[in-house]
Structure 1
Amino acid sequence: MSFYQKEIVVSKEDLDDLNHVNNVRYVQWIQDISKEHWVEKAPNNIQEKVIWVVMTHHIEYKSAAVFNDSILLKTHIKESSGAKCTRVVEMYNSITNSLLVRSNTEWCLLNRRSLRPIRISEEIKEIFS
C-alpha cells in the first residue's frame, strides 16, 4: 500500500466561530492531499488521460484542532473496483498523535476528454499498492 503524508500548521484563516478548524477546511485538506498523492505517484502520461472526481465523502470528526496546531495528514487507497476507489485520509495532532479526523472518500476515474467513467487499470492500481 502506497502511503503519502505531509504536515501542516493551522492558521487563523482555518478557524471557525468557535476557534476550531472549520469543517470546510478539513474537506479542502482531504481533497488537497488526495490530489498531491496522485500527482506525485502517477506518471504524467497517465495524468494527461484521466481525471478523478469525488462521489461521496464520509468524514468522522474525532477531536478539534486549533490555531498553531501541527497536523500530520496521511492518505492511502483502501480499495479499487471498476471505475471507483476508496481513499482514506487521516489527520493527527503531530505532538500528541491523537486522531483528529478520518475520512473515506469514494472517487471515480474519468476519461479526461469524454468525462466518462473508465475502469481503473492494473497499471494505476500498481502505482498505489
Structure 2
Amino acid sequence: MQIFEQTITVSKNDLDQLNHVNNVRYVQWVQDIAEAHWLKNAPKTILDHYFWVMLSHHIEYKGEAVFGDELTIKTYVSKSEGLFSIRHVEITNKTKAKLIVTSETKWCFMNTATKKPNRIPLEVAQLFD
C-alpha cells in the first residue's frame, strides 16, 4: 500500500462563520489529494484514456482546525478491482498533533471515449501498491 501525503496551512478562505475550517473544505481537500495522487502516478497514456468518478463518500469529523494550523493530508488505496477503487484519506492537525478527519471514498473507473465504467487494468491497480 502506497501512502501519498501533502501538507497545507489553513488560510482565512478555509474558515466558516465560527472561524473553524468549513466542513465543505475538508471534502474538497479529500478530492484534491485523490486527484493529485492519481496525476502523480498515472502515465499520460492512461490519463488520456481513463478517469475516475466518485460514487460514495463517507467522512468523519473528529476535531477541528483554525487559521494558521498546519495539516497533513494522507491518502492510500486499500482496494482496486473490477470497476471500483476504495480510497482512504486522513487529515491530521500537525499543530495540535491530532487526527481530525477520516474518509473513505468509492470511486468508479471510467473510459474517456465511451464515458462508461471500465474494468481496472492490472497496470492501473499496480500504480497504488
Q: TM-score range by the shorter chain?
A: over 0.9
TM-score by length of 1: 0.97
Which residue in 2 is equivalent to 1:10? 10
Which residue in 2 is equivalent to 1:114? 114
Listed as ranges, the gaps of 5+ residues in structure 2 are none
Cα deviation for residue 120 of structure 1 reads 0.7
Identity of aligned residues (%): 47
* Aligned AA (1:57): H
Cα deviation for residue 79 of structure 1 reads 0.8
Which residue in 1 is equivalent to 2:41? 41
Cα deviation for residue 67 of structure 1 reads 0.6
Cα deviation for residue 99 of structure 1 reads 0.4
Which residue in 2 is equivalent to 1:24? 24
Contact 2:54 2:105 in 1 (8 A): yes
Cα deviation for residue 95 of structure 1 reads 3.0
Counterpart-to-counterpart distance in 1, 2:59 and 2:110: 24
Counterpart-to-counterpart distance in 2, 1:92 and 1:50: 31
Which residue in 1 is equivalent to 2:95? 95
The size of the alignment, in residue pairs, is 129
Q: CA RMSD in A?
A: 0.8
Counterpart-to-counterpart distance in 1, 2:25 and 2:96: 21
Ranges of 4+ aligned residues in structure 1 off by more than 3 Å? none
